Structure 1
């Protein structure tokens, strides 16, 4: 009888030998593999107790840096937002009010600075593009969250606390 399709049909089936019918060789091979895995190093890590080593070039959570005097380094130039391939950074620039110029080095600042961590691919281009070293990626993980709003980090979340404010407290 000829097949109706172009599939290859099995020509004949040979009868199983006594060893194959008992399945003992297959059982012994499986047990051998199992015993080999018992004596190997575990692949899992008990996370809170032991930390897994990371690559020296690991990039984690973003931080907005301050200068030595506690002032924000970001001048809202927008180079980090332009360099971001995932378009995860949103920024709005504003000018300092009259009378504030003497407190700050630059006349412009970032009135709004947001990073959408759901879009971020942690490439580090924002860090490389910043001429003032205002943004950098730390070695900490971005914390987990259950809502989308929790993954959008604003300027208040990213800015390092003012060291002078700590001294006065």
Structure 2
């Protein structure tokens, strides 16, 4: 009987330990169900190549528990040296959405670099609006981000 209780206790501890090791992107990061950031696009390539470039699963790095993919080992290494420089603003959520106090997904091909920072948008139509006043929308998003960054996207977007 004691052996059975001990086994149950060990099983419970193992389950809890396994659960604590589960990898999940931080709440302020926009990642898919597999914790992949920006749909696998190479965040460094926006800066070095000036265009969206699909990453490769061979070249990865993690930042805030999200997995980033890169088109080359060199880009991966640049990211590892300074992830804050290359990671998209607002955890990869739509910059216009953050200005509107929402956490919206993004289209990695709807992007803009301002002041050496990468901003992504929901889609090209939203990006067109974003581009009408980038400095103003950035100011608004910067004011909103501290308030919404730790709130789940589903909770914010339900309002």
Shared fold by TM > 0.5?
no
Structure of greater Rg: 1
Which structure's relative contact order is higher, taking Cα pairs within 8 Å and 6+ residues apart?
1
**Could you say which structure has the higher helix fraction?**
2
TM-score by length of 2: 0.25
TM-score by length of 1: 0.24
